[in-house]
Chain A
Amino acid sequence: MTKPLLLRGGRVIDPGRGVDIVGDVLVMDGLVEATGLGIAGPDGVEILDCSGCIVSPGFVDVHTHLREPGREDVETIASGARAAAAGGFTAVCAMPNTDPVTDNQAAVGFIVRQGLAAAAARVYPIGAISVGQKGVALAEVGEMVGAGAVAVSDDGKPVVSAQLMRNALEYARTFGIPVVDHCEEPTLAAGGAMNEGLVSARLGLKGIPSEAEEIMVIRDILLARRTGGHVHLAHMSTKGSVELIRWGKERGIRVTAEVCPHHLSLTEEAVEGYNTNAKMNPPLRTAEDVAALQEALRDGTIDVVATDHAPHHYDEKEREFADAPNGIVGLETALGVNVTTLVDRGILTWAQLIDRMSVAPARLFNLRGGSLAKGTPGDVTVFDPRRMWKVDPTRFVSKGRNTPYAGFELKGRAMCTIVGGRIVHRIAS
């Protein structure tokens, strides 16, 4: 049993219940017991002084790559879960493009067990859509859900076959889980290393046009309409995708979408000098795309922020641009980037940010959490909205160091992360 925790004097923002007060949160027996003013805890309660901080339902990241099994040299479930906690996340969903691929109940069970053993942020497995993520045969979705999977995805890769995507949406409907698609039309994107535009023309790098994403976005929206299934579009990156999602939502189609902090804050110019730490898929695009994505997050067209945390070994990124693997880490910089880029500039309010990082992700993926109502899990994030800090990858909790934000001054830092009533991360003020 965990010790009772009283989080005192912070600005408690619980968007789901419209709560925004300076007050206290009491967590007991792993659950939220109360929020309000002047709460007196039971005897032996541990008191945390949260003055100057915001106290919110724990952040949930629905898109991370924890690399275990297969690439434990680059990240393990334990190191990833701890990195998540350091970033203020109380739960993460782990993508199945591991080695071997997480496409069966035993593999899902392994991830669940490793997550529990890590005893940091909660780890929810996402199972593969197709066996081996080969895009041919449907994986045993029911059994995976039974073992703890909260969604299915072939992320890392697109679902190339529309027929398979249709089948997956219909089949997953039975189990009430979303199908997450990485939208990339393979023939248009083949060989591409960055956004197709003026920068790629100058640097002599093959570009990936926006249409490679948009073609699959509209395809998935139409299939969601046909099947009544829930499609969740991963890491949206273009203005065109936003317009298509709006079209779909206006018609009541069950399409939801996520955007990553880097697509909200950086453009293709970050690639200048062949910086492999600015190489990811989908790539960084133009200022116009960034503005459209920010607006979409604000008005809810895009439902959640997810990190697409993708650690890579230093050696792998330390090579010619075209050969370097795609992906950057994001768990420990997400909050800082979002505060600096969105809240500080008045694009999102605190309530909106917390909704996009906690309430909505939990709701979309049917996870307990995203709320500070009585009886909900004691998953709380305490963060300092004014804290300035400099990004130093050598001090990351994650094993991955591949970030484009090295040396950046960010505002906003998770000071204390609580999972199930237990403190899993803490920075002394």
Chain B
Amino acid sequence: MTSALGKDLLGLEPLSAEQIRLILDTAEPFKEISERAIKKVPALRGSTIVNLFFEPSTRTRVSFEFAEKRLSADTVNVSSSGSSVSKGETLVDTARNLEAMRIDMVVMRHGASGAAQFLAERIESNVINAGDGTHEHPTQGLLDLLTLRDHFKELKGLRVCICGDVLHSRVARSNIWGLQKMGAEVAVCGPRSLLPYGIEEFGVQVFDRIEAAIEWAQALNVLRLQLERMTAGYIPSLREYNRVFGVTADRVARASKELLILHPGPMNRGVEIDSNVADGPHSVILNQVTNGVAIRMAVLYLLAGGRPELAEAAKG
């Protein structure tokens, strides 16, 4: 494969620290492009990219679309809801149809863990995982790493705590793998019913109380708590969640050092995070969004790294 990342980006777990560093470094010049008046470079001109979203998502899809268009690629959005079974067209058929249309890259978000790998194994196009079930969301993990690096300059030894529903979070998993590979120290904080069984075995520290997490961490990545968790009985109520685990302004103020606040969005203001923290001076939530486009441009740029058959033709 002539790309430094291989054919697909399915997660951060399979990547090496060097590969992650390459993506972060490549994102830097792409940040600059988004500051220009003409936010476009011809790097992916003529490439066709399909955004295949089986789960609704505005921000991730729009971010990818900007990244694709700023690289001059042609993009098509396909959204579909429900599993293959209920839809009537299997994921295998969807894959084959896309391949028959000779598209270059697929950006896919799907509700089933492993769906991105499933697709990648069956089509020649590059596949970028924009979130598969509760497994991984690699571009989110990468943009979080970039945001942390922007502020702290060095990720090695950095203490980052991921707060909230880690059990159901693909963002949490990607962050854990990415941070650990870059040498950071990772902790999680949340009700035990929302932490994966055996999380300590992954080298992750566990804080039962948010106050202890805030005391320890240099940065908090606050996850969105979904309403369904309450109806499924993992926690009694959103109100109690906020009272016990919420990242509130007074808790943050009591931290003995400056604490950086990240959130993958969309936020449940007043549940996992209070507005004055989300909009406050420690928050880099908007930087995350900006970095998101640059990271996605970097990933697309790196994955499109040369097609062997064209290289052959060019030689002749």
Contacts and interface: CB of A to CB of B under 8 A. Distances in A.
* Chain A interface bracket (under 10, 10 to 19, 20 to 34, 35 or more): 20 to 34
B113 A274 contact: yes
B112 A323 contact: yes
A321 interface: yes
Given A315-B90, A318-B92, A201 B13 contact: no
Interface residues of B, number: 27
A273 B91 CA distance: 17
B270 interface: no
Given A274-B117, A319-B92, A323-B85, 16 more contacts: A198-B201, A201-B199, A202-B13, A202-B202, A203-B113, A203-B114, A204-B114, A204-B135, A204-B173, A205-B114, A207-B197, A209-B197, A319-B84, A319-B118, A320-B115, A320-B118
B233 to A, nearest CB: 10
A322 B83 CA distance: 10
Nearest to A205: B113
B196 interface: yes
Interface in A239-295: 273-274
B198 A201 contact: yes
Nearest to A320: B112
Nearest to B196: A201
Contacts of B201: 198
A197 interface: yes
Interface in B76-103: 83-85, 90-92
Interface string A191-204: 00000111011111
Contacts of B173: 202, 204
6 contacts: A196-B197, A201-B197, A204-B136, A207-B197, A273-B117, A318-B92
Interface string A165-205: 00000000000000000000000000000001110111111
Contacts of B133: 204-205, 322
Residue of A197, A200, A318, A321 with highest tally of chain B CB at under 10 A: A321
Nearest to B92: A318
Contacts of A201: 196-199, 202
Interface in A192-245: 196-198, 200-207, 209
Interface string A103-144: 000000000000000000000000000000000000000000
Nearest to B201: A198
Contacts of B113: 203-205, 274, 321-322
Given A197-B197, A321-B112, A321-B114, A204 B91 contact: no
Contacts of A197: 197-198
B193 to A, nearest CB: 13
B8 interface: no
A207 B136 CA distance: 17
B185 interface: no
Nearest to A273: B117
